[in-house]
Amino acid sequence: MPARNDTASAAGFILIPLVGIALFLLLFFWATYLYPGGWQADKQAVGFSWMHNYWCNLLNERAMNGEQNPARPVALAAMLILCGSLSVFWYYLPLLFLHTNQRADLLLQITGICSMFSAAFIVTAYHDIVIMIASLFGFFALAGTFVGLYRCRLVNLFWFGCSCLLLMAVNNYIYYTKDLLYYLPVIQKVTFVAVLFRIVWMIKAMYARQQAN
């Protein structure tokens, strides 16, 4: 838990997730360039399709066309950097809420970091189980975040977060029901961008609050 009298020194660490997100995006684009090709309905397609390929395709040992996947090491590095960076984000997030409740802050930190730690294992054979575990921890972390945003009257962040939750719900509905599955790769990417944008927004708010102290 960040100490109350150490908020000034924490300001620099708050920006670490921004660096991690930037590195993740760079590595992600690099991985799409390296991906040999293939997607669910067209195994012989060349290269990465922004319309049809999932993020997970970049993490597989073999591409959908059956070739060895040279994008995997880059995508793995991107995933680990993102999870590590967002763990720092969750650690410092209580600073945005001015430490109004230390127990709630600790629960937010633990569940947020555990969610990121679990997500790092998404590349294993236990992909679906890992998603469930990460989602469970993420649910409690997000619940604590929404409570903090509401109490601190950060209205814009609160409602934008609601739109992100709606996108996540649509992702899960399509994933488990298979309805409109053709559109899921695009919806997945839109959701990912929206969530990252919200995190960057919250980091900016945290940093501004620390600078004002």
Task: Give one DSSP letter per residue of 43-67, joined into a string.
Answer: TT--B--TTT--HHHHHSSB-TTSS
Angle in degrees, CA 178, 185, 61, rounded to 5: 100
What predicted TM-score, i.e. pTM, was given to this entire model?
Answer: 0.87
Angle in degrees, CA 123, 113, 69, rounded to 5: 15
pLDDT at 189: 94
Tokens of 46: 């060349």
Number of structural domains in the chain = 1
Q: What is the pLDDT along the chain (213 residues), one digit of tens a residue?
A: 444 445 555 667 888 999 999 999 999 999 999 999 999 888 989 999 999 999 889 999 999 999 999 999 999 999 999 999 999 999 999 888 866 678 888 999 999 999 999 988 887 777 778 888 988 898 899 999 998 999 888 999 999 999 999 998 999 899 889 888 889 999 999 999 999 999 999 999 988 887 776
Neighbour count for residue 181 (Cβ, 10 Å): 11
Angle in degrees, CA 7, 8, 9, rounded to 5: 95
pLDDT at 99: 64
Q: Which domain holds residue 152?
A: 4-212
For the chain, give the number of residues. 213
